[in-house]
Amino acid sequence: MNIKITGSGSYIPDTIQSNHHFNNHEFLNADGSSIEYQNETIIEKFKAITGIAERRYIDEKLTSSDIGAIAAERAIKNAQIDPEELDYIIVAHNFGDVKYQTAQSDLLPCLASRIKHTLKIKNPKCVAYDILFGCPGWLEGVIQAQAFIKAGMAKKCLVIGTETLSRVVDHHDRDSMIYSDGAGATVIEASNEEGGILAHETASFTYDEAYYLYFGPSNNKDLDPDNRHIKMHGRKIYEFALSNVPAAMKTCLDNSGQDIKDLKKIFIHQANEKMDEAIIKRFYRLYKTPAPEGVMPMSIHELGNSSVATIPTLFDLVLKNEIENQQVEKGDLIMFASVGSGMHINAIVYKY
């Protein structure tokens, strides 16, 4: 028995926010002091490092569970299954449903229950639950779905990654330009066909690293300090990722028994273009071979960093030939890899 992704779907918001959107923002340092550079310089440096030229924000009437349900419907249709046959709905997110211009997260009921309700699934044995695992959440959901299927507890699972980071950013923080909204979903099934998940790897680094990403007050000290926003220690995350992600990817590939030369694509969390490029270079350096041209599809330039949604949306876009010069063919060996708050790392080697 093999365990495969049999359907995928995504929701890419229509509203485009280009870097010019931030020209009139009042960016401040963490202590509330003014930044010595003009916004044009800040934005120029930001794009040079991250590669982000624009990002997507959802409509003010929508929430994370809304767009997660849309992506789920598309994945179910793509898989050509009856949603009543689903055994698990696993939803990865980090902030729940945050309504437009509010500061409170809504997690009751969980997003998975809301999405199951929206999908109008009646079967009570379809278990719906959320996972909070930082940016690697969708990947961890796929790993959990695989475990349920291997254990004989499930035959079909729906794994969703959905996030609306535009609702939790601090508009006085330069890092706010990184974040975006989106949702991706996949159907995971037992299959008699060749391929599927060959190996996986997960690790949680918490001794020194747990709070590299955290919820904190605005850089604007005149605002209510009890209103919290997503914050990060960018340099520490960058150094952590370069030190630990390539090693985890190598362990995963080695455990799969596959050769690095056969690896066709790496779908890595779209966090920062320079960081992702450095991770891939270090990964291939562990095998004393250069990274092939085009091995890493990218969506961050237009879509920004949508946390748990970046990998499943990117994967769906490539499968549907919507990323220029990027395709996946039947039989291709691919890898998924992610790093994010917690600090968590995971990877999957997969034969398409």
Q: Give per-residue pLDDT as tens, 6-19.
A: 999 999 999 999 99
The verdict on 100 and 145 lying in the same domain is yes
pLDDT tens-place values along the chain, 352 residues long: 899 999 999 999 999 999 999 998 899 999 999 898 899 899 999 999 999 999 999 999 999 999 999 999 999 999 999 999 999 999 999 999 999 988 789 999 999 999 999 999 999 999 999 999 999 999 999 999 999 999 999 999 999 999 999 999 999 999 999 999 999 999 999 998 889 999 999 999 999 999 999 999 999 998 988 889 999 999 999 999 999 999 999 999 999 999 999 999 999 999 999 999 999 999 999 999 999 999 999 999 999 999 999 999 999 999 999 998 999 999 999 999 999 999 999 999 999 9
Amino acid identity at 317: L
CA–CA distance, 81 with 6 (Å, rounded to integer): 9
Location of structure tokens 């340092």: 29
Based on the domain organization, do 130 and 39 belong to the same domain? yes
Single residue among 193, 216, 250 that ends a domain in this structure? 193
Looking at the structure, tell me whether residues 178 and 91 fall in a common domain: yes
Sheet holding 181-191, edge to edge: 2-11, 181-191, 156-164, 88-93, 127-132
Give the residue from 193, 208, 237 where a domain finishes.
193
Same domain? 87 vs 26: yes
Select from 193, 218, 244 the last residue of a domain. 193
Angle at 93 between CA 87 and CA 96, to 5 degrees: 105
Same domain flag for 240 and 311: yes
Per-residue pLDDT tens over the stretch 72-103? 999 999 999 999 999 999 999 999 999 998 87
Q: How many domains does the chain have?
A: 2
CATH number, domain at 168?
A: 3.40.47.10
Pair (211, 259) in one structural domain: yes
pLDDT score recorded for residue 101: 86
Contact 107, 96 (CB under 8 A): yes
28 and 135 co-located in one domain: yes
Give the residue numbers spanning the domain of 336: 198-351
Same-domain pairing of 58 and 171: yes
Distances (CA, A) of 150 to 3, 155, 190, 197: 8, 9, 8, 11
Supply 43's token pair. Answer: 């934005």
Helix spans in the chain (H): 39-50, 64-79, 111-118, 137-150, 234-256, 273-285, 300-303, 310-319
Task: Give φ, ψ of 170 to 5 degrees.
Answer: -95, 110
Are residues 148 and 16 both part of a single domain? yes
pLDDT of residue 99: 94
Q: Report the pLDDT value the prediction gives residue 200, as an integer from 0 to 100.
A: 98
Indicate if 227 and 307 belong to the same structural domain.
yes
> In whole angstroms, how far apart are CA 33 and each of 37, 168, 221, 236, 320?
12, 21, 9, 22, 46
207/182 same-domain check: no
Q: Is 201:248 a contact under the CB 8 Å cutoff?
A: yes
Question: Are residues 173 and 224 located together in one domain of the fold?
Answer: no
> CB–CB of 345/338 below 8 Å?
yes
